[in-house]
Amino acid sequence: MSQPAKELHHSPAQSSLSVDEARAYIFSQLPKLMGDESVAIRSTLDRCLAETIRSKSNVPSHTNSAMDGYALLASDIPTSGNATLQLIGSALAGHPFLGEVAAGQCVRITTGAMLPHGCDTVVIQEHVELDGDKLIITAGTALGANVRQAGEDLSVGSVVYSPGHKLGPADIGVLASLGVPEVRVKRRVRVAFFSTGDELRSLGETLADGEIYDSNRYTLYSMLAKMGCEIIDMGVITDSPDAIRRAFSEASEIADMVLTSGGVSVGDADYVKMVLDELGEVQFWKINMKPGRPLAYGKVGNTSFFGLPGNPVAVMVTFYQFVRPAIRTMQGEANVEELSLTAKLAHTLKKAPGRMEFQRGIFHTNEHGELIVESTGRQGSGMLNSMSRANCFIVLKEAQTNLVSGDKVAIQPFINFF
């Protein structure tokens, strides 16, 4: 491992790290995920391009009408009063008018039909009167009106998308309009994960005193599914060094990334640390954040490893702040910056100086168009319900102290993610 890794490794001076320092370190160590694949465009939603897409043709390929009306020469449109033109044919979408249109003539045209030779303008049907094959037009339509020029959307040879572009529905439509049936995209990250804890039971089992259902595997699975990862759920592993050693060895052979929850704090049964020290190069951090203070990051062989805290809210917060940008980068996404907005607090908010906090909030726009944010209420790191009801994190810097109603705060919206 490189120098900074050694410096950080178990160095007491560095045992408490800021969120930004942890993120920077993670990015400096992130393995490049090799490999891309050819995929039919219908199956590329949310995948990242591994190639440059250039337009092989103009879009639209031919100059055509944007409206139903009459194609004609702008020079025939009067500046005042009426003019009468001779109707000589029609152009429908997919059925062009093949003749030449001269001054004094016009052609009936529908939306999407190729503009006939000689014409430069379309007058919409609501603005004309038709008397047999005589068309009566008035002033008011400008040269080029209601016409879509060939190549006005995309011109031949231009770069449409660069590598690292994440494909959305509009992009997939654009690829189809260019006639591209499949593209090369980065492969998905394969992520294995397991929960640790003797108190954890799987669904369907009965709970004895002191036992709880494992919820982290369900939130982790769902977040990974949202990110399009290949997912390997390895279940619950007991707090035993042997079991944890076996699970890590197996996971690091089959996955690009291993996630665990629990067992990274300083409790007696926290063997994750011990085993990882043995198997790989891993940092154990107390990050200056709330929730999510204990976090481990490193490598076991070529596999990157995140040891997330056990508390259910801390799992989701640390996933969002560290694991998600790491996966997006590994999956080839060029820009992984999260959206940050400024909102006005609806009430007072407690904040002790020292740690960066990711409180759960609900934002909305009030009747004056201002972004307002309120807390979901109690913020215990085991209270998963606060995540369910939230649509953003209220991000409070380390030095920040108590806030009052009307104060401006940074929010990270996560609509559609949690």
Closest approach, Cβ 8 to Mg ion, in A, equals 24
Closest approach, Cβ 273 to Mg ion, in A, equals 12
Residues 6+ apart with CB under 8 A from 200: 211, 212, 213, 214, 236, 262
* Residue placing its CB nearer to Mg ion in the complex, 244 or 411: 244
Closest approach, Cβ 210 to ligand AMP, in A, equals 9
Task: Establish if 151 lies at the interface with Mg ion (CB under 5 A).
Answer: no
* Residue placing its CB nearer to ligand AMP in the complex, 181 or 267: 267
* Residue placing its CB nearer to ligand AMP in the complex, 156 or 212: 212
The residues that touch ligand AMP, with contacts defined as CB under 6 A, are 195, 197, 199-200, 212, 214-216, 261-263, 265, 267, 309-312
Closest to 114 (Cα-Cα) out of 190, 62, 54: 62
Amino acid at 330: M
Closest approach, Cβ 213 to ligand AMP, in A, equals 7
**Ramachandran category for residue 24: left, alpha or beta (phi over 0 → left; psi -120 to 50 → alpha):** alpha
Residues 6+ apart with CB under 8 A from 277: none
302-331 footprint of Mg ion as x/- string (CB under 5 A):
--------x---------------------
Q: Which residue is nearest to ligand AMP (CB)?
A: 310
Amino acid at 176: A
Where helices occur in 266-347 by DSSP H, the ranges are: 271-279, 312-318, 324-330
Where helices occur in 259-396 by DSSP H, the ranges are: 271-279, 312-318, 324-330, 385-389
| Among Mg ion, ligand AMP, none, partner that 265 touches (CB below 5 to 8 angstroms by kind) | ligand AMP
| Among Mg ion, ligand AMP, none, partner that 151 touches (CB below 5 to 8 angstroms by kind) | none
Residue of the chain from 262, 292, 298, 332 that contacts Mg ion (CB under 5 A): 262
- Supply the DSSP string of 246-259, one letter for each residue: HHHHHHHHH-SEEE
Angle CA(257)–CA(263)–CA(264) in degrees, nearest 5?
A: 75
* Residue placing its CB nearer to ligand AMP in the complex, 296 or 390: 296
Closest approach, Cβ 30 to ligand AMP, in A, equals 24
* Residue placing its CB nearer to Mg ion in the complex, 272 or 390: 272
| Among Mg ion, ligand AMP, none, partner that 212 touches (CB below 5 to 8 angstroms by kind) | ligand AMP
Task: Establish if 197 lies at the interface with Mg ion (CB under 5 A).
Answer: yes
Closest approach, Cβ 310 to Mg ion, in A, equals 5
CA 142 to chain centre: 42
Alpha-carbon distances of 253 from 191, 303, 324, rounded to whole Å: 11, 8, 22
Q: Candidates 208-216, 247-255, 257-265, 284-292 — which segment interacts with Mg ion by CB under 5 A? A: 257-265
Q: What sign for the dihedral angle of Cα 363, 364, 366, 369? A: positive
The footprint of Mg ion (CB under 5 A) covers 197, 262-263, 310
